[in-house]
Amino acid sequence: MSSKSHLPYATRAANHPNPLTAKLFSIAEEKKTNVTVSADVTTSAELLDLADKLGPYIAVLKTHIDILSDLTPQTLSTLQSLAQKHNFLIFEDRKFIDIGNTVQKQYHGGALRISEWAHIINCAILPGEGIVEALAQTTQDADFANPQERGLLILAEMTSKGSLATGTYTERSVEYARKYKGFVMGFVSTKALSDTLPESKEEGEDFVVFTTGVNLSDKGDKLGQQYQTPESAVGRGADFIIAGRGIYRAPDMVMAAKRYREEGWRAYEERVRGN
Ligand code: S5P
């Protein structure tokens, strides 16, 4: 039995209890795109240029904010304005992985002030359930500005060769997502995971699946990255495809983003039709 969703984004948006996930599906529907661009560039100018040029074609912009060599508060406020202008969400791919007390300080406050500008964050569950509990709890702080617009993805699998995020690790990811579903939007994984632990699945469960390692021209890189096409990723259950170098390293990144958008959307339409 396949656990990937055959429902249109519009239906999922209308029915979803989590406001940020509902908004994400609405953006996908409205802009006809399931592309997340992984903006792994290293200067603020490149990041903001990319966000402005690709904004119309993406649903989400994923950052690794700590790889910018010249990050300033201005970078983040301009990025937020561009997210509003083009109607995309910002996903900081920080992959939190520590004890609860530490991740709370890394997420809310600190040098990067991630909770102030990133709609979506992610974490690995190597530390156990406490990391999810701690991040969810942070949004309840009295000074936390907009808890309704914040959500977490659990990194349930990885695309790199020899990844250890398999088996029990992936099962626990699903278990914690169910337990903290008010804050957990879904997973970063290579396929839909809803049928993992079927005995504890609730009626109407609708986790969002982000799949990274999407590239139309390469099979991988020299450091163990492994790629699949948008069609294959969406066919396996990706609701959002994440592409980095395939887009920002292309000779014309706007053309590339449009192509990933078309391919990702076509695959989504086929899935909804039941193919
Ligand atoms: O399993 C994973 C999870 C993530 S979030 N594999 C990944 O590659 N990523 C991230 O996706 C990685 O950190 C990078 O930002 C992006 C892939 O970039 P690309 O240039 O290989 O498309």
- Over the stretch 33-90, which tens digit does the pLDDT of each residue have? 999 999 999 999 999 999 999 999 999 999 999 999 999 999 999 999 999 999 999 9
Structural tokens at position 133: 């509990």
* Ligand 1 binding pocket mutation candidate from 35, 36, 37, 38 (most atoms within 8 A of CB): 38
pLDDT of 1 reads 41
Burial label, 72 (beta-carbon count in 10 A; 0-12, 13-18, 19+) = exposed
pLDDT of 147 reads 93
Whether residue 95 lies in the annotated active site: yes
The residue nearest atom 19 of ligand 1, judged by CA position, is: 244
Looking at residue 226, the DSSP 8-state letter turns out to be B
pLDDT of 150 reads 98
Phi, psi of 274 (to 5 degrees): 95, 15
pLDDT of 275 reads 65
Structural tokens at position 193: 């995971």
- Other CB atoms within a 10 A radius of the CB of residue 46 amount to 14
Spell out which residues line ligand 1, taking CB within 6 angstroms.
Answer: 38, 40, 64, 93, 158-159, 188, 212-213, 215, 225, 242-246
- Other CB atoms within a 10 A radius of the CB of residue 133 amount to 15
Helix (H) or strand (E) holding 74: helix 73-86
Strands (E) across 34-148 are located at 35-38, 60-63, 89-96, 120-123
What residues in the chain have per-residue pLDDT under 50?
Answer: 1-2
Q: Which of 115, 121, 124, 135 is nearest to 97 (CA)?
A: 124
C-alpha 40/C-alpha 238 separation (Å) is 21
187 neighbors 153 (Cβ within 8 angstroms): yes
- CA–centroid distance, 213 to ligand 1, in Å, is 6
C-alpha 183/C-alpha 204 separation (Å) is 17
pLDDT of 217 reads 93
Q: At what angle do helices 73-86 and 44-54 cross, to 10 degrees?
A: 10
How far apart are the two ends of the chain, measured CA to CA in Å? 14
pLDDT of 127 reads 98
Q: Which of 251, 143, 135, 217 is nearest to 183 (CA)?
A: 135
The residue nearest atom 4 of ligand 1, judged by CA position, is: 212
125 neighbors 95 (Cβ within 8 angstroms): no
- CA–centroid distance, 124 to ligand 1, in Å, is 14
The whole model's pTM is what?
0.98
- CA–centroid distance, 149 to ligand 1, in Å, is 24
Q: Which residue among 32, 53, 95, 179 is the active-site one?
A: 95
pLDDT of 3 reads 77
DSSP assignment of 123-141: E--TT-HHHHHHHHHHTTS
